[in-house]
Chain A
């Protein structure tokens, strides 16, 4: 049983879902960790990426590359729509607007009126064929006890490859003068302004880049599942990404990756453990996956609260850095 639990957890921790969430968290880290933007609607970026790709390919029969571009452009447009009214206001207005926008988008794609375009609640499929055609993996079982098939190997490789590439990009950016301006905005945007920095422009650039990275995360997520439905994009996804970012270490380059692996290892391990306990009938009268779902979400909530209060620097962050107090 312990062995099953361990392999369940490991399979999830290195799988494509963890990679997608790592991408969401890389984008969120650019927003929150480096610029101080409170984006509570990262799942909205994930949604526009996923639907941009799948609508282009599945509905209009476009090639995969076009779908990828459409998905990323959608994230740019979303950033401009959300950022224009809110980036001049206090941080909490952006938080409220982004979470509202992510729900608007979900309502819109699941609405029966959008059936022809988004497949409403049933979603879309058959957009991932070309992606898997490029797979170099021969059919078969890989990674021993983890039992990845060829397709899963391919999407896992691509997913973590993107995490590595985009983390490297963020690392380069944050060591540049551009990154220095971003961090100064996080610390005190009036100070940045008084030194001649166009704060609004930099915030917008940060929102766009982090959003596009989130959209890429959404594309990896649906390519791995080979289908997309609106209810994959519940607001809680954003807060999973927040938990991942804080767990790994806010404003660190490797934080999102370490956080995603650890988060999915713990969450899947917990779910597998509860399921084992429930199935074993240790506690009489208890069955049901609902318990697994509810308990794991309670655990995520507690993780967020306790981390924020007791270890805001996560596993990789610098305690001393957080100790400093501005204003």
Chain B
């Protein structure tokens, strides 16, 4: 395996890989240096934010800032327009907590389990911290209610994982590559929409489809310009894994360079009144996200089953040599898999940004859950990715009924380790792959 680390022969194609990557970076860096948002208003480091409920600023709320590096504590109280600002002693890691007891009657955190944010503040920069406010959620020890609520949350989160994981699984199935840059395609998709929506001011309903198309195009471009040349050189799989790690670093930090390190939100659908369905509360946007995710998954399922392209994809994932000898244009199918996977991944990123927020690490956090979902379902199978993704979402949200939500991902990742112990081929995988 390692032995085929990299073969020696290489043609002009690989030079092209380097040229493309370097050009992209050069363009990206120049753009960021000239137009980037990393412009400080003052010479020191600050964190700030604005607390708003139904468009109105919320005054008199206490925000506590603790330095993660040396434990120093600072605080601020929001002004009449709801804005608050804390001047920091220097760059470093900080934990910013909103004191929920100082919120006025009838206003609560949208996510009461997470009253704190952690940010890394760089030299001479301002970090914006978002605390989304909404109608207070009744904190209840009522287990049935919390179980119901977390199943809704789990479904919502799981559908997003499923959507993003399909591409990961199909790419593995068709090319053998475990793409560690897949999470960062989520981030890039979310930020493409953020750029169109927030920076350019397009409505999200227009920005999102454009971003999804761009996400698919980006993934297809990566296949054509990076992965296909590497496959043509018969680069070893392990070398490809390391290349995908390098690519993920590049993508993630280009986003950091352009958009900064703090959590951001889209301008649309930010503040909505939750709908009550018996014991559970759901915001309309969350319902839309779930509905569209289900629609996308069903569409992909139909596509894989009913169309020629879809059956080709499954054929290539199943047995590449056989597919090739039966006349399928494997490289084209692989390209289609990347485009499809990239588009779904971008959509997942936008959905995640809608129900939570966008930040440059969002995709990497999701990647590990995607891995858990894909391995649980069966590496290489699209349906497995769907089933596994949803289960992983459920597991992590259900855990919050009994355990701290800070460690909800831990349970999902433990599922990964347990499944490898008892059934490494996954729920829908076949044992033969492990002969």
Give me the interface of A with B, judged by CB distance under 8 Å.
32-33, 36, 38, 40, 81-82, 84-86, 89-93, 95-97, 99-101, 103-104, 107-108, 110-113, 121-123, 186-188, 227, 229, 231, 235-236, 239, 242, 246, 250, 283, 285-295, 297-298, 300-306, 308-310, 312, 319, 322-327
Contacts and interface: CB of A to CB of B under 8 A. Distances in A.
B17 A309 contact: yes
- The prevalent SS among residues of A at the interface is helix
A325 B3 contact: yes
Nearest to A92: B178
Nearest to A239: B245
B40 A297 contact: no
Contact of B364 (A40, A101, A235, A309): A235
Interface string B227-264: 00010000101110111011111101110110011000
- Which of A236, A290, A326 is most buried by chain B, counting CB atoms within 10 A of its CB? A290
Contacts of A312: 5-6, 239
A327 B3 contact: yes
Given A104-B413, A290-B260, A295-B29, A304 B40 contact: no
- Which of B39, B238, B413, B420 is most buried by chain A, counting CB atoms within 10 A of its CB? B420
Interface string B398-416: 0000001011011001101
B100 interface: no
B8 A288 contact: no
Contacts of B68: 121-123, 229, 231
B40 A301 contact: no
Contact of B249 (A99, A113, A298): A298
Contacts, number: 228
A99 B368 contact: yes
- Which of A92, A108, A110, A250 is most buried by chain B, counting CB atoms within 10 A of its CB? A92
Contacts of B123: 287-290, 292
A186 B247 contact: no
Contacts of B386: none
Contacts of A229: 68-69, 93
Chain B's interface size range is: 35 or more
Given A302-B25, A305-B247, 18 more contacts: A40-B245, A85-B417, A95-B241, A104-B410, A121-B93, A283-B33, A287-B39, A290-B125, A290-B260, A290-B261, A291-B36, A293-B256, A294-B254, A295-B257, A305-B250, A309-B230, A312-B239, A323-B7
A305 B375 contact: no
B14 interface: yes
Nearest to A240: B249
Given A231-B68, A326-B4, A298 B241 contact: no
A290 B118 CA distance: 16
Given A290-B125, A302-B21, A322-B6, A89 B424 contact: yes
Interface of B: 1-8, 10, 14, 17-18, 21-22, 25, 29, 32-34, 36, 38-40, 66, 68-69, 71, 91, 93, 95, 118, 120, 122-125, 178, 180, 230, 235, 237-239, 241-243, 245-250, 252-254, 256-257, 260-261, 364, 368, 371-372, 375, 404, 406-407, 409-410, 413-414, 416-417, 420-421, 424, 434
A280 B71 CA distance: 32
B413 A326 contact: no
Nearest to A35: B2
A309 B178 contact: no
Given A85-B421, A290-B122, A319-B8, A301 B2 contact: no
Contacts of B34: 283, 285
Contact of B416 (A100, A188, A306): A100
11 contacts: A82-B417, A100-B371, A103-B368, A283-B34, A298-B250, A298-B253, A301-B248, A302-B25, A310-B14, A324-B3, A326-B3
